[in-house]
Structure 1
Amino acid sequence: MIEQSASDLRTFIPAQDFALSKEFYSALGCELAWSDEGLALFRIAGSGFYLQRYYVKEWAENCMLHMSVKDAARCFADIKNLLGSGRFPSARVVPPKHESYGALVTYVWDPSGVLLHLAQWDES
């Protein structure tokens, strides 16, 4: 194996409406650490991702982020309330589902169609 001394790994995700997507991720509790007119760095739980002012429908609809959470049902309720405000009309959330790999997962689609997996892991 090649020694890379890596200390961080971040993905880039697309935004069809950059300002709206920045507002969405902030509303979800992600910390906006830095931004310019085309790129924003968000941090949550010691990790980060870049939101970019770039959009390709096929890419956005195949892009996914996985995040481990303590309570998937609570996430669902909170996000359902947030989306009920009408601030993010194209975003959606579905009730948690038990997956075969051992997690209870709430699925959330951001305003651009990116799929978030909010996974609560079984404690067995």
Structure 2
Amino acid sequence: MSLKVKDLRVFVPAKDFDESMRFYEAIGFKKNWQHEEGLAELEISGNRIWLQNYYVKEWAENFMISIEVDDVAEWWRMINDLIVKDKFDSIRVKPPKDEPWGATITYCWDPSGVLIHFTQSTV
């Protein structure tokens, strides 16, 4: 038997679907399609997520996404600029931090409280 995974996507919760959509598009995700009932496939660099108009606080605030990038400092600057320029009052971002497991990480919370790890390998 040969079991192969052809694709893997996660369903990302959205407290305010339109605000979350605006955020993910602002950081570079492209909308492939959107269903009228609040489900959209978003893609960045060949990686896809499904943003859904569904929210449970305890779930959203314990949901995490890790995105490996080449330059974590650039991502931090871009997201920090979005907070100021585009008035994303509901997102937070921390400056890059060297972690002991061999990565520099910028922690960002999306409009629903989902924690995104923008990670750059240091090993």
* 2:49 equivalent in structure 1: 49
Supply the distance in 1 between the matched residues of 2:59 and 2:11 (Cα, whole angstroms).
11
The structural deviation recorded for 1:5 is 2.8
* 1:94 equivalent in structure 2: 94
Supply the distance in 2 between the matched residues of 1:34 and 1:52 (Cα, whole angstroms).
12
Which runs of no fewer than 5 residues in structure 1 stay unpaired?
A: none
Residues 35-94 of structure 1 deviation map (CA, whole Å, 9 limit, x = unaligned): 112101011122111000000000000000000011111111111011112532110101
* 1:8 equivalent in structure 2: 7
| TM norm structure 1 | 0.93
Supply the distance in 2 between the matched residues of 1:5 and 1:119 (Cα, whole angstroms).
27
RMSD: 1.1
SS, match of residue 58 in structure 1: helix
Q: How many residues align?
A: 122
* 1:25 equivalent in structure 2: 24
* 1:58 equivalent in structure 2: 58
Q: Following TM superposition, where does structure 1 have runs of at least 4 consecutive aligned residues deviating by more than 3 angstroms?
A: none
Identity fraction in percent: 48
| TM norm structure 2 | 0.94
